[in-house]
Amino acid sequence: MEKYKAIVEAIKSAKNIVISSHKSPDGDSIGSSLGLFYFIESLDKKATICHADKGSLSLTWVLGAHDIVTFEDQPEKSIELFEQADLIFCLDYNSADRVGQDLAPFLIEARAKKIMIDHHMHPADFCDILVSETNVCSTSQLIFELIDKSGNLDKINEKIGTPLYLGIMTDTGSFRYPSVHARTHEILAELLKCGVKHYDVHEKVFDTNTMDRLQLRGYVISEKLEIYQDYPIAIMSINEEELNRFNFKKGDTDGLVNVALSIEGIKIAAFFAEKDGQVKISFRSKGDYFVNVLAMENFEGGGHKYAAGGISFQPMDKTIELFKSLIPKYF
């Protein structure tokens, strides 16, 4: 594949490489960033990963995660990285604003060559090389394709493979979603062959509950879950006071929206979490119901057909009211 070879050439001729991803990094942002980072290292080149903020504890155990520069901790260093870069990778996002409002202006202004590798629909036109594969489950899978299709499969090792496995696993709900193809499993097999300890990744991501986290989740499920009468929709919400009661840590409510979606007959689920006076919303759906358009048109968000997110600057009750009022229009 010519595009992938061109990307490897760009890496080989660059001096200052920066790897960026979207704000509130998930397993795929961290996985694809670190997978690419170690691939670049295997080419005897160096890169720096710069994200807006840190990932949750269930993700930051991966080798190298603590060396990721974040704007929240090191704003000046982050700006300098973008200003001095001659090559910037844009991983797992499709428009510049997704890096967060602090970093976006520096990404847009950066003189560097920009390469987007992503799997979200409707990529914006701000990069010099665009790899946009919306049928692929994860950006981490695309990093594997970059390595393989540029003729560098022999470079794959455990260091590269572990974050890629993490990204594929988290973006596919542990290999369950329709976005998983035979090719995904072929890649997973390659990752195991190079020494990735799959059981270790699953344990570190899923079996790391604290009492607070578990009880917060139990509370939301037992007290804050609501099913709508006339629609196959379940919602959950949590406000700041409740989060504080359970000593909320980043990641503690991750995946709760999928619990709502798991109720028999439910096709659409929404999770509303209040933080710093804003309401962050996660949407999930299945079958013939899609949530990305609703998120994009009403909550300044977007995402995939079956997994999208957005934000509201109105109070919780008004936000949920707005969501309810939109149901007849969208579903």
Binding site for ligand 5GP (CB under 6 A): 98, 120, 282, 301-304, 307-311
Q: Which residue has the tokens 């930051």?
A: 60
Residue 301 interacting partner from Mn ion, ligand 5GP, none (CB closer than 5 to 8 Å by kind) = ligand 5GP
SS (H, E, C) 150-196: CCCHHHCCHHHHHHHHHHHHHHCCCCCCCCCCHHHHHHHHHHHHCCC
Q: Decide: is 118 part of the binding site for Mn ion (CB under 5 A).
A: no
Q: What is the DSSP letter of 247?
A: T
Q: Choose from Mn ion, ligand 5GP, none: what does 145 bind? Cβ within 5-8 Å by kind.
A: none
Sheet holding 113-118, edge to edge: 69-70, 47-51, 17-21, 87-91, 113-118, 129-132
By CB atoms closer than 10 A (0-12, 13-18, 19+), residue 129 is: middle
Q: How many residues bind Mn ion (CB under 5 A)?
A: 5
184 binds, among Mn ion, ligand 5GP, none (CB under 5 to 8 A by kind): none
Find which of ligand 5GP, Mn ion, none residue 232 binds, CB within 5 to 8 Å per kind. none
Q: Which phi and psi (to 5°) does residue 16 adopt? A: -120, 105
Q: Closest CB to Mn ion among 28 and 274? A: 28
Q: Within 33-92, which residues bind Mn ion (CB under 5 A)?
A: 92
Distance of closest approach, residue 171 Cβ to ligand 5GP, in angstroms: 7
Joined together, the tokens standing for residue 102 give 């602090």
DSSP code of 99? G
**Rg, Å, the chain Cα set:** 20
* Least distance in angstroms from the C-beta of 216 to Mn ion: 25
Which residue type, as a one-letter code, is found at position 202? Answer: H
Say which amino acid occupies 172: T
DSSP secondary structure, 3-22, as one string: HHHHHHHHHHH-SSEEEEE-
Q: State the residue number with the nearest CB to ligand 5GP.
A: 309
**Which residue number is nearest to Mn ion in terms of Cβ?**
28
34: left (phi over 0), alpha (psi -120 to 50) or beta: alpha
What's the DSSP call for residue 26? -
Does position 28 interact with Mn ion (CB under 5 A)? The reply is yes
Q: Sheet harboring 268-275: ordered strands across?
A: 225-227, 233-238, 268-275, 278-285, 307-312, 302-303
* Site mask for Mn ion (CB under 5 A), range 259-298, x = bound: ----------------------------------------
Q: Which stretch binds Mn ion (CB under 5 A): 123-131, 171-179, 219-227, 308-316?
A: 171-179
Closer to Mn ion by Cβ: residue 170 or 237: 170
Tell the smallest beta-carbon distance from residue 115 to Mn ion (Å).
Answer: 16
- Under rule CB under 5 A, residue 145 binds Mn ion: no
Q: Which of Mn ion, ligand 5GP, none lies near 308, with the C-beta cut-off 5 to 8 A by kind?
A: ligand 5GP
CB of 287 to ligand 5GP, least distance (A): 18
- The answer to whether 171 contacts Mn ion (rule: CB under 5 A) is yes
CB 324 to ligand 5GP: min, Å: 19
Partner interacting with residue 311 (select from ligand 5GP, Mn ion, none; CB below 5-8 Å by kind)? ligand 5GP
CA pair distance 180, 169, nearest whole angstrom:
10
Footprint of Mn ion (CB under 5 A): 28, 92, 138-139, 171
